[in-house]
Amino acid sequence: MGNNMNRHLVMLAALCVAATAANAEGLPERIKSAGKVVVANQANYPPMEYKDPATNKLMGLDIDLGLALAKQLGTTVEWSDIGFEQMVSSLTTGRVDLIHSGMSDLPTRRDTLDFVDYMKSGAQFYTSFARKDEFKKPTDFCGKIVGMSRRTSFPDETAKWSAANCEAKGLPAVKVVGTEGSADARAQLKQGRVDGAVQGSETLPYLLSLEKDTYTVVGEPFTAVYQGIGFAKKDTELRDAYAAALKALMASGEYKTIFAKYGLEGAMLDGIYVNAQAVK
């Protein structure tokens, strides 16, 4: 009985080792030997990444997905809290292995990065709940002061939208104000220093549930982009391993479970996209 049990345990352990080895097969040697991926992330973009105010624990969709992907690959995650502006240089100099931090997969970023896309996003106008009757549609922001994080693509995208939807129709331009982040834009909105704000459509349902009757969304997102996990151009092995892991999470249903937890099923992708191109 004892010998049979021992043999069974040995076989089980061997199967577990084999499964982990199979999962880790696509990983670069440096990741296998380190037993971890170092991931750039800045926890200031709820519900994608944030710290629980009570426990200071790292939470969010990106965190849950990042941990699930690493587990699928048979490795662990070391989160590296790095300012958004420093993330690309940290990746290209090898301080981190990848970026997973609410980053948009933009053509301008593909000169230095490859992206494995994992969700849809878009720039979204919103204003304070008290001014909801004043701003019924996006063009009501023509000639108004609108705040948004200067670290993002939103200032450029809003200026382009304004050129096509305000100036081209003889209306005054949106006055774009770059802020120190989306939290700063919201603070300025509450203080009445800006008339409206722009941030990622995926963050607003969380924001509206957190602060009832504080903000109101105006119109639909005015851009359509993918959010992606960023890899150094030369790191194709790690990129492809992550794409395969994401495909496995989609097939198992875990991908959907993570998005449903944050009420973001509408932001899910229907397959694997690298640099915004569908791949088999």
Question: pLDDT (tens digit, 9 = 90+) per residue, 231-242?
Answer: 999 999 999 999
Is it true that the peptide bond before 138 is cis, omega within 30 degrees of 0?
no
Give the Cα separation of 190 and 115 in Å (integer): 35
Query: Two tokens at 133?
Result: 């009757």
Q: What pLDDT does 10 receive? A: 40
Distance CA 68, CA 48 (A): 14
Q: Which segments in the chain show pLDDT lower than 70?
A: 1-25
pTM comes to 0.80
**How far is C-alpha 2 from the geometric centre of its chain's CA atoms?**
51
State the span(s) of the chain assigned CATH 3.40.190.10: 28-121+226-279, 123-218
How much is the pLDDT for 25? 61
- Give the angle subtended at the CA of 262 by the CAs of 258 and 266, to the nearest 5°: 85
Q: Where are the beta strands (DSSP E) in 122-240?
A: 123-128, 145-149, 175-179, 196-200, 215-218, 225-232
Q: What is the pLDDT of residues 81-92, one digit of tens each?
A: 999 889 999 999
Taking the C-alpha atoms of residue 147 and residue 144, their distance in angstroms, rounded to an integer, is: 10
Percent of the chain scored above 70 by pLDDT? 91
DSSP code of 97? S
Strand arrangement of the beta sheet that strand 98-99 belongs to: 76-81, 36-41, 98-99, 225-232, 113-121, 272-274, 277-279
In this structure, whether the domain defined by 123-218 belongs to CATH 3.30.1330.20 is answered with: no
Output the pLDDT for position 205: 87
Residue 135 half-sphere exposure toward CB, CA atoms < 13 A: 25
67: left (phi over 0), alpha (psi -120 to 50) or beta: alpha
The predicted structure's pLDDT at residue 11 = 40
Q: Which fold has domain 28-121+226-279?
A: D-Maltodextrin-Binding Protein; domain 2 (3.40.190)
Gap between the Cα atoms of 179 and 166, Å rounded: 22
